[in-house]
Amino acid sequence: MGKIACANVLSDMYAMGIADCDNMLMIIGIPFKMTDLERDVVLTQMMKGFRDEAKSGGTKITGGDTNFSEWCLVGGTATAVVKSEEVVLPYNAEVGDVLVLTKPLGTQNATFAYQWYQEGGEKWEKLSSVITSEEVQFAYFMAVQSMTRLNRTGARLMRHHKAHAATDITGFGLLGHANNLAKHQKKPVSFVINKLPIMCGMAAVERAINNRFMLLSGKGIETSGGLLIAMPAEESSQFCRSMKEIDGEEAWVIGHVVEGNRTASLDKDVEIIDVR
């Protein structure tokens, strides 16, 4: 949980092409109902995960705040001081750009499917007709790996490959964040998404639960998702190759920028990519 929270905190900064963080503050919420032993074990591990991920990002925790809470919480803030020319401003997308996504979709489906598999019962019985227990476990660990992987490589590479705009994909889903990014463009452009890279088996899970999480409509909630980047088409292939070489993970060209009215939409024949 701490690793995921830290990766998520850093993502907003990475979406501006800022790959190096000067320092971070950590915020912890301690549940009232936890016993002393539970607090010692759980919070220690949460804080360790947060610190470990900050170290992976080349920064450190310099302070923070701890309070009692109804929930178990971990979060924080990241600070960096950079030159203005080192920032990728999020409003310069141009007609002819392509849209690149650096992590697969489906974290919400994968975590819930794993929970239902563990619990058994009616929900798992419904899913077991479209996915095996081994496939659910594989997708879950793929989701954990994705959520804890920093967007730092993408931040560095998008500056090198002349990115015109970017955002990170989290609580509003791919289409929600794409719409928000499109709305703030200087030029009258729109984003058209024609591919959805989805963690293996999670498209089938989504259909089995009657599109409950809106994953196939591009609105599925993501936790610590990837970067959505508008960049020149001629730069995208090398960007994706470099992501694979450095992080060992795929990135995908999932759409393009066209003349429009500053909105984002899914192509009517959107392609589902099963990511393994």
As a whole number of angstroms, the distance between CA 232 and CA 236 comes to 7
pLDDT at 233: 98
Q: Which residues of the chain have pLDDT under 70?
A: none
CB 212 within 8 A of CB 62: no
pLDDT at 126: 93
What is the value of pTM for the model shown? 0.94
pLDDT at 275: 97
Q: In what order do the strands lie in the sheet with 227-231?
A: 165-168, 227-231, 98-101, 252-259, 189-199, 264-275
pLDDT at 1: 83
Q: Is 150 helix (H, G, I), strand (E, B) or coil?
A: coil
pLDDT at 116: 97
DSSP 215-274: GGGT----SS--EEEEE-HHHHHHHHHHHHHHHS---EEEEEEEESSS-EEEEEEEEEEE
**pLDDT tens column, 20-50:** 999 999 999 999 989 999 999 999 999 999 9
CA distances to 7, 10, 105, 148, 219 from 199, rounded to whole Å, are 19, 23, 6, 15, 15
pLDDT at 73: 92
Domains recognised in the chain with CATH numbers: 2-86 (3.30.1330.10), 98-275 (3.90.650.10)
The residue among 155, 128, 153 whose CA lies nearest residue 242 is: 153
pLDDT at 74: 94
Tokens of 60: 């450190």
